[in-house]
Structure 1
């Protein structure tokens, strides 16, 4: 069974808006390596639609992009992508699959079938899966920014606090700190 790893960008004040952080070659290289280490991606419908609206065009060469961005797009194109959605069933982007069964059952089956692990990149879906105790690891890229606005993690709350064990904390040259935690108990 593979681990489910939740990874997301977050500012110092907890904002998880994808536009609030630093998007440079260094952060893209980190996410590309992380994606390479995992067997599949998992998103909610909203994140899938945001990704689907941009990355396939970059992979096809329809949009100009720096080499690091294009590399991410090409790797993302072939990576298995799973989408949890109760409102949409058709996901035409290459290698996209719908988790159509019960969310807990579907995600557990995905973890069981993916020994390399699953990389989760949707905040709202993560909150739901966290309530189900399905997330095994957390990797946050903490950006040296204070957004002063925007969505935060677990806005809808959790039934209890999560105890985590620090695996590593690695500073990047751009000031971002990559934190890696594992569930503790």
Structure 2
């Protein structure tokens, strides 16, 4: 059975916003390495629209730094599933399909197929997928910033019971970011 990982960048005070940090080469290389373990990305609509066409344009035009271009090429090349009731098309990004309903049921089917790891990229789907027991690993990168507003990793009351995790690795970066790698117990 395939392993499902959830990875995210957050502030020290627990807010998830792609604009809070200032990713450097070391951090891009970390996420590129994580993507090298993955052969399927599982998105919610909002996160998908934040990531594409931004990264696919960068991969196509080689418009970023060398580390950004490496990440963009790898990220764009991975097969993608987007959960959305409203998205009409996938921004001309190849290897992307849209699923209209039942994200947990779809992820169960995908976990049972042969392949490498599946990466979840959706805050809105997180409580449902945790409750269904479908996420095996958490890779949380904490940025050295306190923002005081924005989207929280989990809303109050979104889980019915706590989820205990086991810390298996911590990586400090020169930028002050710290990557925490947890496994579900």
So what's the TM-score if we normalise by structure 1? 0.92
Q: Is the 8 A contact 2:84 2:100 kept in 1?
A: yes
Q: Does 1:10 align with 2:24?
A: no
Q: Does 1:80 align with 2:44?
A: no
Q: Which residue of 2 aligns with 1:20?
A: 20
1:86-110: CA deviation from partner (whole Å, max 9, x where unpaired) = 2225323111122345222211111
Q: Is the 8 A contact 2:83 2:101 kept in 1?
A: no
Unaligned runs of 5+ in 1: none
1:34-57: CA deviation from partner (whole Å, max 9, x where unpaired) = 001112111101111111131121
Q: Which residue of 2 aligns with 1:48?
A: 48
Q: Which residue of 2 aligns with 1:170?
A: 171
Single out whichever of 121-130 and 163-172 deviates more from structure 2. Answer: 121-130
Q: Does 1:31 align with 2:35?
A: no
Unaligned runs of 5+ in 2: none
Which secondary structure state, in structure 1, belongs to the residue aligned with residue 36 of structure 2? helix
Which secondary structure state, in structure 1, belongs to the residue aligned with residue 125 of structure 2? helix
Provide closer, same or farther for how the CA distance between residues 89 and 132 of structure 1 changes in structure 2, counting only shifts above 3 A.
farther
- The RMSD of aligned alpha carbons is 1.6
Q: Which residue of 2 aligns with 1:106?
A: 106
Counterpart Cα distance in 1 of 2:76 and 2:18: 20
So what's the TM-score if we normalise by structure 2? 0.92
Counterpart Cα distance in 1 of 2:93 and 2:114: 20
Q: How many residues align?
A: 183
Q: Is the 8 A contact 2:4 2:136 kept in 1?
A: yes
